[in-house]
Amino acid sequence: MKLEGSQTIQAARERVFAALTDPDILAKCIPGCEQLQKAGENQYTAKLSAGVGSIKTVFNATITIEEVVSPSHYKLVVEGKAQPGFVKGSGSLDLEEHDGSTTIRYTGEVNVGGMLATVGQRMIQATANMLAAKFFAALETETGKVSAA
């Protein structure tokens, strides 16, 4: 399944990029994130509570940040496992500044397996879009807090 879109955040690009690479802020922004810990250079382990349809579970995930070009680009690679299946995905984020705000263009691909794959493409796509919207709304809130500080 492919994901793509864009979101504008009312903050400078450097501030948004810093937030996107700060594990404390990411933990607050990632929907269902129960735990996020640094595991190495640009690598984190996470416990994520998520669900699609009637299937709800907690994933143990590895998140890796690659291809970092500060403050304009990076790639996220996520691999998560849980009792009803697995999720593997990667996505690129490109940040462009426009008059003090930042547009984030994102593209990605997500693969699901096991029981999760049985709920159907449309439901998975709708859930992924909803989670992306929640993430960006939380990111805007967090970058606003940083800019007020």
Q: What domain count does the chain have?
A: 1
Residue 124: CATH number of its domain: 3.30.530.20
Query: Alpha-carbon torsion 17, 19, 24, 25, what sign?
Result: negative
pLDDT: which is higher, 19 or 84:
19
pLDDT of residue 97: 96
Query: Taking residues 101-129, what's their average pLDDT?
Result: 84
Structural domain of 12: 2-148
State the first-to-last Cα distance of the chain, in angstroms, to the nearest integer. 39
Residues with Cβ < 8 Å from 41, sequence gap 6 or more? none
pLDDT above 60 for 149: no
DSSP string, 39-81: EETTEEEEEEEEEETTEEEEEEEEEEEEEEETTTEEEEEEEEE
Beta strand 33-40 pairing with 43-52 = antiparallel
pLDDT above 50 for 148: no
Average pLDDT, the chain: 88
Q: What is the pLDDT of residues 99-114, one digit of tens each?
A: 999 999 999 998 888 8
Q: What is the pLDDT of residues 9-55, one digit of tens each?
A: 999 999 999 999 999 999 999 988 999 999 999 999 999 987 776 77
Query: Alpha-carbon torsion 137, 115, 3, 95, what sign?
Result: positive
What is the model's pTM?
0.85
